[in-house]
Amino acid sequence: MNISSPHGAINKRAKRDGWVRDLTAKIKAKAEFLVSKSLVSSKEKRIPDSEIVEANALNSAAIQINERKDVA
């Protein structure tokens, strides 16, 4: 009896159908962590959280707007 594992079956189907992994969210979270860690570890003047949130929110919004324009 030839029974493939569920993992093997999923991998086979992913290859057949050309599935791709989207690691965008993980990369973004890691980048934000590294920026935050850098700011906390720095002996230089710290940037207030409100400025960091505002700058990153504006950047994220700009990226999302451009992506939606591309789709449209």
Indicate the pTM of the whole model: 0.38
Calpha distance 9→5 (Å, rounded): 6
- Alpha helix locations (H) across 1-72? 6-17, 24-41, 49-71
Tens of pLDDT, residues 3-13: 557 888 888 99
| Rg of the chain in Å (alpha carbons) | 20
Q: How high is the pLDDT of residue 1?
A: 47
Residues of the chain with pLDDT under 50: 1
